[in-house]
Amino acid sequence: MSNLAFRDASIIVLDTGRTAIRAGLGIHDLLRTPSIVIPACVGLRRTPSATNGENISAQAVENGNAVASSSTTSAPQIHDYLVGAQLDEAISQGQDLTISWPFADGSISDWTQAEAIWKYVLFNQLQLRRAQMESPVMLSVFSNLSRDAYERICQIFFERFNVAGFGIVERPTAQFYAAASGTSLSGIVVDIDRDAIDITPIADGFPVHNARTTLAYGLGHCERYLAHVLRANQAVITALSPPDAPLSDDALHAALLDLARHIWQEDLIKVLAEGEAARDLEEEGVTDIAAVLVAGKEKAVIESGMKKRATAKASAAEQARAKEIEALDLVTVEFRGLSLTVGKERHRFCEPLFDPTLLASLPGVQQPEDPYVSLRPLQTAVAEAVAHTEIDHRAYIWQGLFVTGEISNHIKGLGAALQARLAPYILTSPDPQNNDVQTRNIRTLKIPDYFAEYREKGDGMASFLGTSIVAKIAFSEAQGKNFVSKAEYINRGPRAVLGMSPSLL
């Protein structure tokens, strides 16, 4: 074991997600947000001499969709792959590339690609020097990796990157630590990524692996659904594809996808209560925004502050019109040089999470082989995951519902919306025979406000924060009980990492 605790300033936190890598150098009293955020993908030139001139297919660059590694016969090497800014430059030049996402399936599908990404972050972005490496690394990984995978990761970081120390934490554990604030050791983490949702119960501080489940839809599917819904907004369609210069169907679909992404990233979406969308459609039908825009007057009302004008001094007609606009919940969105008016239909963005059958008819959505398993409603999957845990743990797990992922940075109230939809799945009447394990309510978690740098960011970076917490505790111990030191690796080899991972023992 090591007899030396590392300096906080030298510690590296490396959070590995399905579609994003987050990293930072240095642990401070005020835990900071990551300084490095890059897509978890690599690019490979199809031919060694490829330059600009050929376009990259839409399928190749779509977030989260892994494609074949290379069309060449020889296996690509680490230096063949383009990562981060290198990949962005190649794409902007129109080079003929294959884009791969080695972590997209919640594991490591290609070790060379994974190593290329980690190497780029450490030595290109964080500007570390391999020969003079004095930094330990705390790495977050997926929960379902094997013992062999842990050993191989440990070997890569010591032998290829020459790290001074190494530790691993499972992402759901890190996410839960970020939100639990020491009040409980049990809960359930719902991590919403682009094309998958990972649901992991936590009992006594450890993931319950046999109860984990993954759903085959996510943030990207919500974008596709909203793009589909926006087709009913004739004002938006006319602005994007005017009669004198119409877009092709593919181009219009791409524009609507970009608009949907822009809307949620601008924090313009709220989560509807169960049945709220259906009631709106029954009462009002599909809103035709064009019909309520009269010579730009409603837009002016929106921009100048509708509520200020709807005062007692306003005429009855003005007040009635203001209430009508307020009911439509209109917003003006600046997009591609256009001012687009969007109504309350934007709030239907999250509907596929709770009713994935809405995705069945959408173009471009691949149907899974077993729809029941991977296309269950989110609330059903969460309830079933808890039901697979020990009965004595369930009441405590329900007291720690935590929804995370990039979507939670911009759309508030996801946890509360899921909590409300889970109510029918828990027992509501007390059982005198089992009072100690009786579930009476569900409690949601969020990142505590005392993490100042995360206060305005939302809960989507919980994995990086939790990994930082684990790193600060582990690497401050002089005896090195919760990480592998370089000396220990030399003595025991990659197997040393298994002792740092209680769930593998």
Per-residue pLDDT tens over the stretch 96-119: 999 999 999 999 999 999 999 999
Cα–Cα dist 59/436, whole Å? 52
Q: In this model, does residue 441 exceed pLDDT 90?
A: no
CATH dotted code for 1-40+111-181+456-505: 3.30.420.40
Give per-residue pLDDT as tens, 384-399: 999 999 999 999 999 9
> Which CATH number does the domain 183-216+372-437 belong to among 3.40.250.10, 3.30.420.40, 3.40.50.1110, 3.90.79.10?
3.30.420.40
Domain ranges of the chain: 1-40+111-181+456-505, 42-100, 183-216+372-437, 219-354
What does the buried/exposed string (b/e) look like for 273-282 if buried means 16 or more CB atoms within 10 Å of the residue's CB?
A: eeeebeebee
Write down the pLDDT at residue 460: 93
DSSP codes, 104-143? TTSS-S-HHHHHHHHHIIIIIIS---STT---EEEEEE-T
Evaluate whether 1-40+111-181+456-505 and 183-216+372-437 have a shared fold: yes
pTM value is 0.85
pLDDT value of position 324: 59
Q: What is the pLDDT of residue 2?
A: 45
- 465: Cβ–Cβ under 8 A, 6 or more apart, which residues? 31, 174, 178, 447, 451, 454
Comparison of pLDDT for 63 and 483, the residue scoring more: 483
In the chain, % of residues over pLDDT 90: 64
Please state, as a whole number, how many other Cβ atoms lie within 10 Å of the Cβ of residue 75: 9
DSSP 158: I
The pLDDT of residue 430 is 47
